[in-house]
Amino acid sequence: MRERLIVALDYSDMDSALALVDQLGEAVEFYKVGMQLYYSVGNTVIEELAKRNKKIFLDLKLYDIPNTVAGAIQSLANPNIHFLTIHGLGGLAMMKAVVAAKEKYELTHLNILAVTVLTSIDEEESKRLDWPGQVSDYALTLASLSKDAGVNGIICSPEEITRIKEKCGKDFYVVTPGIRPAGADVGDQSRIATPAKAMKAGSDYLVVGRPITQAKNPKEAAIQIVEEMSRR
């Protein structure tokens, strides 16, 4: 179960990020590098994590015209990156261009994940955006479109896991942020669940940040979350 926990390295400097990785040691083997850290230190953090034999999820949420995003895939062709995110809102043509680029450059190690709806967006915010129906319906539509485009999986909140798995199949990765252990601070997240609930719903991987990185004992927090994941 440990390999299905992804810890978000939400830092802006290398020293803080690697200090946490070294503190967590063998308790965690999969890490998410987002915009904040990657834009600060670039591929150096990818190389350092690879030296420590860690799996890497590069969460840049690429979103642009098809040709531009396909070019970015070529630039990010690092054999140490296991997951890479694009935005499902980029549309079918953009996602197909990414899949074509992945095949062209023979990036067999790389799994492309499409972001559906950010976990910070609730029903009230979706109305401001004039989205049709419920947030969960919109996420399901984007997941289905992503599947048709040929990407490897999606990012969605805990609330959409079961419906997306039923629609897209068990081999289509569902990676889930918005994970909060019982009693943890919700922060800026709106659509959340406990680790056990998310795993029971069918998630393949859970992304956890602040409940571990801001814990008094991050390693113990990570171990407890893995234990809770096993209680599904």
Nearest CA to 112 out of 141, 59, 153 is that of 153
The residues near 87 (Cβ < 8 Å, ≥ 6 apart) are 61, 62, 63, 114, 115
Angle between helices 14-24 and 43-51 (to 10 degrees): 20
Q: Which of 61, 102, 147, 165 is catalytic?
A: 61
Q: Which two tokens stand for residue 91?
A: 């549309």
Domain ranges of the chain: 2-229
Return per-residue pLDDT of the chain as tens, 232 residues: 899 999 999 999 999 999 999 999 999 999 999 999 999 999 999 999 999 999 999 999 999 999 999 999 999 989 999 999 999 999 999 999 999 999 999 999 999 999 999 888 888 999 898 988 889 999 999 999 999 999 999 999 999 999 999 999 999 999 999 898 865 555 555 567 899 999 999 999 999 999 999 999 999 999 999 999 988 6
61 is catalytic: yes
User: For the residues of 184-197, what is the DSSP string, one character each?
Assistant: ---TT-SS-B-HHH
CB 114 within 8 A of CB 154: yes
CB 178 within 8 A of CB 155: no
Q: What is the pTM of this model?
A: 0.93
Q: Which CATH class is domain 2-229?
A: alpha beta
